[in-house]
Amino acid sequence: MLRERGQREVFCGLTGIVWLHRKIQDAFFLVVGSRTCAHLIQSAAGVMIFAEPRFATAIIEERDLAGLADMNEELDRVVDQLLARRPDIRLLFLVGSCPSEVIKLDLGRAAARLSLRHRPAVRILSYSGSGIETTFTQGEDACLAALVPELPREEGKSLLVVGSLAEVVEDQFRRIFADLEIGPVRFLPPRRAEDLPPVGPETSFLLAQPFLGETARTLEERGATRLEAPFPLGAEGTTGWLAAAAAAWRIEPDRFRDVISPCRERSRNALARYRAELAGKRVFFFPDSQLEVPLARFLSSELGMELVEVGTPYLHRRHLAEELALLPPGTLLSEGQHVERQLDRCRAARPDITVCGLGLANPLEAEGLTTKWSIELVFTPIHGYEQAADLAGLFARPLRRREALSGMPM
Ligand code: SF4
């Protein structure tokens, strides 16, 4: 295990708004930040002109930074205007940024103050999406952790799946849990702010994403219990993840096998053709999405790829224990980043494919290395049995493209 501290090349937590605003359909994300933040969000979301967007930036101007304006008054005015114009908003997140943190604007207090004015029609919460010492998936963690204290209390037994999943994936999991007679099953985040899932001492939760450390901690504070499991990536990861819920509900092993086997077999068969293509290929992960460890496990154990280095921004040892146990012995793990040193290691190793952020992908491609953008793995449905082959395809495609290009006359 290599621990590195140095310059990092990652997006900030504002990026999470790109998928969260599509997920919670009556929520609105108001970034309190600079023009840079506004540009990031607009270009990352790919939306410049949109009839009714569900995110915006309240720009901190220079006179605000110089302390010439009362920021809180201005923020209240912007929020009042927004909510008057958009009565469909049920949940408003004030999202902090680097500039709002630097000037120490207390968005938690602002959210509490504004809530008094706008409840019960609108719930107003805050979290930080700042890029200071964080990576981009922590935006979702901070957002969900802000929601946890708002969840209603429940006394009965239930399963909570935690982490944004594509709706098609949620529906597949819902069907499998129903076939296993596990339930009630709920999802965080919900599709609508009005459907916040209840939580209590009898709630068991499964993390669907490995970057939700703070959310898990706040759920545990509410008395819920995390089920120890690998993450539902690939046929085997998904089986292990479902098995954790089945064990908690004391489902008979035969019954579990009967329900799971057809999906698992279909998934394995779909993966077989990618295995032929990817086995023996060497992969190098730069730290970015925090999905690196489960992905590395999937690529090595289900597709036979070789792991050159598995870099991750943070290694949550407890949440990743099952994944780490499934990595080949001797896998080089690195936590944190010193980008120059890591680039040197990558160039020296000449992996077949390098998983990294957008900032590194272009220069590495120019040096003849094949890359995969890690952010794409967060935007694409990759969880569960039916998506396992799509996930493998995301790694096969750049290799095919490189091969096709190398055969072309220059
Ligand atoms: Fe840049 Fe920070 Fe704004 Fe993110 S939050 S866009 S890192 S200034």
**How many helices and strands (H and E) does the chain possess?**
17, 14
Instruction: Report if residue 339 sits inside a domain.
Output: yes
Q: Are residues 283 and 335 both part of a single domain?
A: yes
Q: Is the CB of 139 under 6 A from ligand 1?
A: no
304 and 252 fall within a common domain: no
Domain assignment present for residue 150? The answer is no
Both 177 and 55 in a single domain?
Answer: no
Low-confidence ranges of the chain (pLDDT < 70): 9, 46-52, 64-69, 408-410
Beta strands per DSSP E along 191-250 = 203-207, 225-226
98 has binding-site annotation: yes
Q: For residue 278, what are its two tokens?
A: 């990817």
Same domain, 185 and 281: no
66: containing domain: 2-134
- Same structural domain for residues 349 and 400? yes
- 143 among annotated binding-site residues: no
The one-character DSSP state at 48 is S
346 is in an annotated binding site: no
User: Around Cβ 86, how many Cβ atoms within 10 Å?
Assistant: 15
Q: How many angstroms from the chain centroid is the CA of residue 266?
A: 26
Number of domains in the chain: 3
Asked whether 14 lines ligand 1 (CB < 6 A), one says yes
Ligand 1 within 6 A of CB of 374: no
Residue 7 is assigned to a structural domain of this protein? yes
Do the domain assignments include residue 262?
Answer: no
Residue with tokens 């919460």: 125
Q: Regarding beta strands 55-59 and 91-96, do their DSSP bridges make them parallel or antiparallel, or are they unpaired?
A: unpaired
Q: Are residues 106 and 164 in the same domain?
A: no
Distance of CA 376 to the CA centre of its chain: 11
Looking at the structure, tell me whether residues 402 and 287 fall in a common domain.
Answer: yes
- Core vs surface per residue 144-153: b (16+ CB within 10 A) or e: bbbbbeebee
Confirm whether 311 is domain-assigned.
yes
Q: What is the pLDDT of residues 279-301, one digit of tens each?
A: 999 999 999 999 999 999 999 99
Ligand 1 near 166 CB (within 6 A): no
**Residue 153 included in any domain:** no
CA of 116 to the centre of ligand 1 (A): 29
Instruction: Pick from 34, 35, 133, 137 the residue to mutate for probing ligand 1's pocket: most ligand atoms within 8 Å of its CB.
Output: 34
DSSP state of 54: S
Q: Which CATH number covers residue 81? A: 3.40.50.1980
Question: What is the spatial distance between Cα 111 and Cα 143, in angstroms, rounded to a whole number?
Answer: 13
Residues 312 and 382 grouped into a single domain: yes
Q: Which one-letter amino acid corresponds to residue 282? A: R
- 131 CB under 6 A from ligand 1? yes
User: What pLDDT is stored for residue 45 in this prediction?
Assistant: 74
| Helix ranges (DSSP H) in 337-373 | 339-349, 358-366
In a shared domain, residues 351 and 380: yes
Q: Are residues 305 and 224 in the same domain?
A: no
From CA 379, how far away is CA 372, in angstroms rounded?
13
Whether residues 130 and 89 fall in one domain: yes
CB of 37 shorter than 6 A to ligand 1? yes
Largest CA distance in the chain: 69
Task: Please give the Cα distance from 345 to 327 (Å, whole number).
Answer: 20
CA neighbor of 245 nearest in space, from 262, 261, 228, 231? 228
Name the residue among 388, 404, 394 with its Cα closest to residue 272: 388
Give the per-residue pLDDT at 68. 56
In a domain, 247, yes or no: yes
Please give the ipTM for the structure prediction: 0.98
For position 410, what pLDDT does the model report?
44
**Shared-domain flag, residues 16 and 77:** yes
Structural domain includes residue 321: yes
Alpha-carbon span 166 to 391, nearest angstrom: 14
Secondary structure of residue 373 in the 3-state scheme: strand
Picking from 256, 284, 313, the residue at the C-terminal end of a domain is: 256
CA 351, 362, 50, 53 torsion-angle sign: positive
